[in-house]
């Protein structure tokens, strides 16, 4: 058993921090934010290059930096931050010492070495292969090696998390009940992460050996199938992790109790069972893969993982509504929402994250993932439009929201320029939502992704995209600037706080409670017409109606193109 | 709260909220409808991908393209002298992608059906027929076969929409429909 000197109790939240875990959380979160900074700046350059009137970068720089942009934000930022989330949800929420801190250090060091190695390889200019690095296009060996080292480090982090769960259970640090729902969500993310990393190892290790000449041939179709078992699943880690963050923020801000533990946990279980099938989303127009395989996998067996996301989309705001109503905001459909703390970046960020992830990311993803509808969207700008809504508007915004709460608790410092915090989620959320929408709009007009010049100025044969496509790209560029302002403000405040924020010491108490007291779970007498959370139900029905309309409109678009079979 | 252990130790015995039951039922129904739409479209829809594909090699596929070009070229276009190939309706038509062009230019008749074979000679490419917006992944070593029936006349472009190196944005092909 660790000694008490290794623990600190936060005077504001009552949370108990194991010091080695605390250090590792800080390091992983800070490393993540460094890569968010790099990747975010590159993202702005992408937006300004694809805006035809600006067309900022030269072609070779554009492709090189697009490779770096994808890897730095989609992999390095997110997974560093997720390791911090894993340590928080295990060590802190279970009041338990972190298992094998030395291994956790090793994992962190490997991740840093790997991330730096891959970045160096990319910035040397000979590995502009995009994040997907489809064979037989080859990158420098260091590109693959860096990713492998990073993956090994992340895998160690996953096992440290699992080890901490085992210790907490054995030592009954959290009583003899079940683990908290948020930890359960993090466990879901961890299980998906292990599947992801295993897939990555299966494909990247042979590809690395191929790049140095030990393997003569990698089948490009097999590469696509297994690479996407990593590439898409890694984004499913994000889904599980950011939904765990949604639940955490509902508890922190409102003292909310889940409507029912059973339904929310079942929904996470559906993720574990079905979410990884989504590798198929990328193979819907590939030769040599049968329709039966595509239909089963692209629909996560039978849209069971989509159903799970729809459940979380109801239960998270539903638990917020229930908590607000039991605090007295019980009038009409939406008093609870009007009186919500919209100036608190932790709440506003998560609420916008729910809306952007659901309405923009979720609906577009399912529609694009229909076997046949994918024909009119595959590899167009619609695809990055979709995943900027899920990964930037959904995951990144939720992580930012949590960070505004976590940094003062973890670093014991006041957020600098705190008056600006209330604007951050709106700048970043609206910018990202606009970026996603306009990219999707350009995609439906046929504009390709990963393309330097849609005016085809130097091409022998040309194609003229409609003027609307140029307008969409210009609007996407403007939205990227807005999102960059929001992202820049976040990084300025967080890095500034970590370095220069006023220290609070270990005793000083915050004037306002940092975790809201828990509300009672009794919903009797709340709501309207016998429905305890009518506002959330109305929003959910609006969502479902939008979903159905958008889904069938795209079948209509599909029916208008050349018949093919 | 979600950040603490469930307040009811036997949480799996708690009743489920009615709103949740209703929503799960709606979501499940919608999931089943969406799932059935895909097989439905295979039977009744007109835009489906075939499951017809072959393993091939750049050499073997290139020979088929050249044989077609030799037989059915009607004219040449641009300084590059691209052959414009007008194969008979119903025949097998070959299109190859390579760094950085689609070859040859094809000419179809509206309302007629063609068996279009596509493959790559080198890296992966993306067949993106514009402005129709039909998009296919083209993988070297594999030959995709689609049976298409152009139902509009005009000049169509084949833009490459899979990144294939520094000349990617110059890779454009043409398909004419008379």
String of DSSP letters for A119-169? HHHHHTTS--STTT--TTS---HHHHHHHHHHHHHHHHHHHHHHHHHHHHH
* Chain B contact set for A63 (CB, 8 A): 163, 166, 168
B74 SS3 class: strand
- Residue A151 C-alpha, separation from nearest chain B C-alpha, in angstroms: 25
In angstroms, the CA A441 to CA A449 distance is: 12
B115 at A interface, C-beta within 8 A? no
* Chain B contact set for A374 (CB, 8 A): 135
Q: Look over chain B and give the mean of its residue pLDDT values, rounded to a whole number.
A: 96
Distances (CA, A) of A236 to A48, A56, A245, B114: 29, 33, 14, 40
B160 at A interface, C-beta within 8 A? yes
What confidence category does residue A427 fall into, taking pLDDT thresholds of 50, 70 and 90?
A: very high
- pLDDT value at residue A4: 65
Whether A199 and A237 have beta carbons less than 8 Å apart is answered as no
Rounded to 5 degrees, φ, ψ at A251 are -75, -45
DSSP A276-307: GGGGGGG-TT-TT--HHHHHHHHTHHHHHHHH
Nearest to A287 among B4, B41, B53 (CB): B53
Q: At what angle do helices A220-254 and A181-211 cross, to 10 degrees?
A: 160
In angstroms, the CA A83 to CA A157 distance is: 6
Which residue from A minimizes the CA distance to B48?
A565
Whether A51 and A445 have beta carbons less than 8 Å apart is answered as no
Which residue from B minimizes the CA distance to A545?
B30
A375 and B157 within 8 Å at the Cβ level: the answer is no
Which residue from A minimizes the CA distance to B80?
A460
Query: How many helices and strands in chain B, by DSSP H and E?
Result: 2, 12
A286 and B14 within 8 Å at the Cβ level: the answer is no
Which of the residues B4, B129, B143 would you substitute to probe the A interface, choosing the one with the greatest number of A C-beta atoms within 10 Å? B4
Which residue from A minimizes the CA distance to B77?
A461
- pLDDT value at residue A1: 46
Nearest to A262 among B14, B48, B124 (CB): B14
Which residue from B minimizes the CA distance to A172?
B5
* Chain B contact set for A366 (CB, 8 A): 34
How many other C-beta atoms can be found within 10 angstroms of the C-beta atom of residue A100?
A: 17
Beta-carbon contacts of residue A74 (< 8 Å; ≥ 6 apart): A131, A234, A235, A391
Indicate if the pLDDT at residue A222 is higher than 50: yes
Which residue from A minimizes the CA distance to B116?
A564
Of A4-18, A413-427, B60-74, least confident by mean pLDDT is A4-18
In angstroms, the CA A116 to CA A122 distance is: 10
ipTM > 0.90, yes or no: yes
In angstroms, the CA A208 to CA A218 distance is: 11
* Chain B contact set for A299 (CB, 8 A): 31, 34-35, 38
In angstroms, the CA A23 to CA A494 distance is: 16
Q: Which of A414, A371, A363 is nearest to A390 (CA)?
A: A363
* Chain A contact set for B101 (CB, 8 A): 460
Indicate if the pLDDT at residue A68 is higher than 80: yes
A209 SS3 class: helix
Indicate if the pLDDT at residue B93 is higher than 80: yes
| pLDDT, tens only, A114-141 | 999 999 999 999 999 999 999 999 999 9
Indicate if the pLDDT at residue A187 is higher than 60: yes
User: Looking at chain B from residue 116 to 145, which residues have their Cβ under 8 Å from any Cβ of chain A?
Assistant: 122-124, 126, 128-144
**Exposure string for A220-239, b = 16+ CB within 10 A, e = fewer:** bbebbbbbbbbbbbbbbbbb
B15 and A456 within 8 Å at the Cβ level: the answer is no
In angstroms, the CA A215 to CA A201 distance is: 15
The full set of domain ranges for chain B reads 12-44, 53-177
**Exposure string for A301-336, b = 16+ CB within 10 A, e = fewer:** ebbbbbbbbbbbbbbbbbbbbbbbbbeebeeebbbb
Task: Encode A51-104 in three state secondary structure.
Answer: CCCCCCCCHHHHHHHHHHHHHHHHHHHHHHHHHHHHHHHHHHCCCCCCCCHHHH
Indicate if the pLDDT at residue A2 is higher than 70: no
Domains detected in chain A: 18-504+521-559 (1.20.210.10)
Indicate if the pLDDT at residue B68 is higher than 60: yes
B8 at A interface, C-beta within 8 A? yes
In angstroms, the CA A258 to CA B8 distance is: 12
Domain B53-177 is classified in which CATH homologous superfamily?
Answer: Cupredoxins -  blue copper proteins (2.60.40.420)
């Amino acid at each position: 058993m660790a000694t008490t000197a290794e623990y600190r109790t936060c005077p504001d939240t009552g949370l108990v921090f194991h010091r080695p875990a605390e250090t590792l959380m800080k390091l992983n979160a800070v490393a993540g934010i460094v890569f968010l900074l790099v990747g975010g700046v590159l993202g702005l350059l992408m937006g300004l290059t694809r805006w035809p009137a600006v067309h900022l970068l030269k072609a070779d720089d554009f492709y090189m930096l697009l490779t770096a942009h994808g890897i730095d934000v989609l992999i390095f930022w997110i997974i560093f931050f997720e390791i911090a989330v894993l340590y928080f949800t295990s060590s802190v929420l279970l009041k338990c010492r972190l298992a094998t801190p030395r291994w956790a250090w090793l994992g962190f060091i490997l991740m840093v070495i790997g991330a730096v190695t891959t970045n160096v390889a990319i910035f040397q200019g000979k590995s502009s292969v995009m994040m997907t690095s489809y064979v037989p296009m080859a990158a420098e060996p260091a590109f693959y090696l860096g990713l492998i080292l990073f993956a090994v480090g992340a895998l160690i982090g996953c096992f440290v998390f699992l080890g901490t769960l085992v210790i907490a259970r054995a030592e009954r640090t959290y009583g003899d009940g079940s683990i908290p729902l948020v930890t359960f969500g993090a466990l879901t993310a961890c299980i998906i992460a292990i599947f992801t990393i295993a897939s990555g190892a299966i494909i990247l290790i042979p590809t690395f050996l191929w790049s140095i000449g030990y393997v003569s041939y990698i089948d490009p179709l097999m590469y696509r199938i297994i690479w996407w078992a990593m590439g898409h699943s890694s984004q499913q880690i994000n889904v599980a992790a950011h939904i765990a963050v949604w639940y955490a923020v509902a508890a922190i801000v409102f003292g909310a109790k889940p409507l029912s533990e059973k339904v929310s946990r079942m929904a996470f279980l559906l993720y574990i069972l079905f979410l990884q099938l989504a590798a198929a989303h990328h193979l819907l127009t590939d030769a040599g893969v049968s329709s039966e395989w595509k239909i089963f996998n692209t629909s996560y067996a039978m849209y069971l993982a989509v159903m799970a996301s729809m459940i979380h989309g109801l239960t998270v705001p539903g638990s917020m509504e229930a908590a607000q109503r039991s605090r007295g905001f019980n009038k009409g459909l939406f008093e609870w929402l009007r009186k919500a703390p919209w100036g608190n970046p932790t709440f506003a960020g998560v609420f916008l994250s729910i809306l952007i992830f659901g309405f923009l990311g979720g609906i577009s993803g399912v529609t694009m993932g229909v076997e046949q509808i994918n024909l009119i969207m595959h590899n167009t700008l619609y695809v990055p439009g979709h995943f900027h809504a899920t990964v930037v508007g959904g995951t990144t915004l939720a992580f930012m929201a949590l960070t505004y709460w976590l940094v003062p608790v973890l670093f014991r410092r006041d957020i600098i320029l705190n008056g600006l915090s209330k604007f951050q989620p709106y700048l970043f959320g609206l910018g990202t939502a606009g970026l996603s929408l306009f990219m999707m709009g350009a995609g439906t007009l046929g504009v390709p992704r990963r393309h330097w010049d849609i005016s085809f100025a130097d091409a022998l044969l040309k194609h003229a995209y409609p003027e609307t496509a140029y307008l969409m790209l210009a609007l996407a560029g403007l939205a990227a600037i807005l999102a960059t302002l929001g992202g820049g403000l976040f990084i300025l405040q967080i890095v500034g706080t970590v370095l220069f924020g006023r220290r609070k010491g270990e005793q000083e108490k915050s004037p306002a409670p940092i975790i809201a007291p828990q509300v009672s779970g009794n919903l009797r007498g709340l709501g309207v017409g016998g429905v305890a959370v009518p506002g959330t139900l109305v929003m959910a029905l609006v969502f479902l109606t939008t979903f159905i309309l958008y889904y069938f409109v795209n079948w209509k678009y599909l029916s208008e193109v050349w018949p093919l079979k | 709260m979600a950040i603490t252990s469930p307040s009811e130790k036997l949480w799996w015995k708690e009743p489920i909220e009615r709103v949740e039951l209703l929503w799960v039922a709606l979501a499940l129904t919608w999931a089943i409808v969406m799932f059935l739409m895909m097989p439905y479209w295979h039977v009744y829809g007109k835009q489906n991908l075939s499951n017809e594909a072959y393993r091939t090699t750049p050499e073997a596929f290139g020979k088929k393209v050249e044989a077609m070009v030799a037989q059915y070229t009607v004219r040449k276009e641009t300084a590059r002298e691209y052959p414009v190939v007008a194969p008979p309706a119903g025949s097998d038509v070959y299109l190859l992608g390579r760094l950085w062009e689609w070859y040859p230019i094809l000419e179809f008749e509206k309302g007629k059906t063609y068996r279009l074979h596509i493959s790559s000679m080198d890296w992966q490419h993306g067949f993106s027929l514009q402005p129709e917006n039909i998009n296919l992944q083209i993988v070297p070593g594999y030959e995709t076969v689609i049976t298409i029936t152009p139902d509009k006349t005009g000049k169509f472009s084949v833009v490459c929409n899979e990144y294939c190196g520094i000349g990617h944005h110059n890779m454009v092909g043409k398909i004419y429909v008379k």
